[in-house]
Amino acid sequence: MKRTFASLADGREIVYYDESDHAEHVLVDPRDLPETTTRSEIRYDAALDEWVAMASHRQGRTHLPPSDECPLCPSTETRHTEIPSPSYDVVVFENRFPSFATSVADVTPLSTDAGPDLLVRQPGHGRCEVVCFTSDHSSSFSQLSPARVRTVIEAWVDRTIALAALPHVEQVFCFENRGEEIGVTLAHPHGQIYGYPFVTPRSRQMLDSARRYRERTWRNLFADLLAAEQADGSRIVTRSELWTAFVPAAARWPMEVHLYPNRHVADLPGLTDEERDDFAEIYLDVLRRFDALYESPMPYIAGWHQAPVRIDRDLAYLHLELFSVRRAAGKLKYLAGSESGMGAFINDVLPEQAAAMLREVRPPFELGRR
């Protein structure tokens, strides 16, 4: 795999990841691109003991452009996109409308009268990157070859290491939002990578659970959960020597699959070559099952849970959480009062039923799996 570093017209970084060692790229972005102002900040919500990000400059961001104006397609002689090169395998670049950035304006305290812990704001330091999985606008992650997924994994690993080395970044999150149903504004197959200036609330909650479990049992919570799911078996979707894909017993979403390496690994850089090869196959299998469930492709969110950069690395267990808001053909699950107001999820689909549906569905084209 070959990496090529370059810069976009407004100074943002771009990195090409190519399967051929002979790949060449256009290193100069000919656009006259005004520098964007990033007015990101994070505010402390004392009621929930959580950080919330404010990114008011994002209101004007690109919203579902027609496909002949896609900013993620390669550039042509007559049209310049975010990617100056005429083709690419996988490419990563800084988001033009980031929620977090390396350079952001400083912020003044919200109020000097309030108690010191109550109204707190900080600059939104961090990083937001876009990952294009293929130059083919009308493809999807599930249609990538295993070799291309391997290249995507290398990009995730590489960027995880790079973002973790940035000042202020406390957690690196590689994820994909797919489908207009969940508000995706660009159809081109792509994911994102966030470098957060805090450990995210959900990760912190999981690590707190894992800490209490370890204090009680001297064991790793996630390793034991995986073992329990493997022993029970009724919610396993597919498994290999190195990975297990299952619907968790307490799934929140009508379709939800977690993919765990069978070996305890803290983050993506910790995966062996064999584990990366095997993940490419098992993940494509699961995604193709997702897409085969209904007549139209499944909207989904897929996110890597990695150990934070500095703390609780021993408690974390790398895994991917994949879920969909689709609860039946043509029906979506909405987060309403119980979920959004109280955090109490109500799932209309039993996890055992979801797992059976995913086991039984026949993907339109199958991989040669063991």
Active site residues: 190
Beta bridge partners of 43: 52, 121
CB 108 within 8 A of CB 39: no
Segment 269 to 308, residues that bind its own copies, using CB under 8 A: 301-303
For residue 305, what is the enclosing H or E element? strand 300-305
Residue 221 found at the interface with its own copies (CB under 8 A):
yes
Structure-block tokens of residue 9: 């017209």
Residue span binding its own copies (CB under 8 A) among the ranges 239-247, 287-295, 335-343, 355-363: 335-343
Pick 69 or 232: Cβ nearer its own copies? 232
Distances (CA, A) of 213 to 24, 171, 343: 51, 22, 22
Written as one string, the DSSP assignment of 50-90 is EEEEEEGGGGG------GGG-TTSBP-SS---SB-SS--SE
Residue 115 found at the interface with its own copies (CB under 8 A):
yes
Structure-block tokens of residue 79: 């049209």
Residue 183 found at the interface with its own copies (CB under 8 A):
yes
Instruction: List the one residue from 99, 122, 135, 160 that touches its own copies (CB under 8 A).
Output: 99
Q: How far is the CB of 83 from its own copies (least distance, A)?
A: 22
CA distance linking residue 247 with residue 69, whole number of Å: 38
Residue 338 found at the interface with its own copies (CB under 8 A):
yes
Give the number of residues in contact with its own copies, rule: CB under 8 A.
91
Residue 45 found at the interface with its own copies (CB under 8 A):
yes
Q: Compute the Cα dihedral for 22, 27, 31, 33 and give only its sign.
A: positive
Instruction: List the one residue from 17, 44, 88, 156 that touches its own copies (CB under 8 A).
Output: 44
Instruction: List the one residue from 27, 46, 105, 165 that touches its own copies (CB under 8 A).
Output: 46
Q: Give the residue from 195, 220, 201, 211 showing the smallest Cα distance to 124.
A: 195
Instruction: List the one residue from 166, 175, 312, 313 that touches its own copies (CB under 8 A).
Output: 175
Residue span binding its own copies (CB under 8 A) among the ranges 47-55, 130-138, 144-152, 161-169: 47-55
CB 165 within 8 A of CB 228: no
Residue 252 found at the interface with its own copies (CB under 8 A):
yes
Residue 10 found at the interface with its own copies (CB under 8 A):
no
Residue 225 found at the interface with its own copies (CB under 8 A):
yes
Pick 281 or 321: Cβ nearer its own copies? 321
Residue span binding its own copies (CB under 8 A) among the ranges 18-26, 84-92, 161-169, 322-330: 322-330
CB 122 within 8 A of CB 41: yes
Distances (CA, A) of 92 to 89, 159, 344: 10, 9, 36
CA distance linking residue 228 with residue 15, whole number of Å: 41
Residue span binding its own copies (CB under 8 A) among the ranges 7-15, 132-140, 217-225, 273-281: 217-225
Instruction: List the one residue from 24, 69, 208, 366 that touches its own copies (CB under 8 A).
Output: 208
Q: How far is the CB of 368 from its own copies (least distance, A)?
A: 31
CB 228 within 8 A of CB 220: no
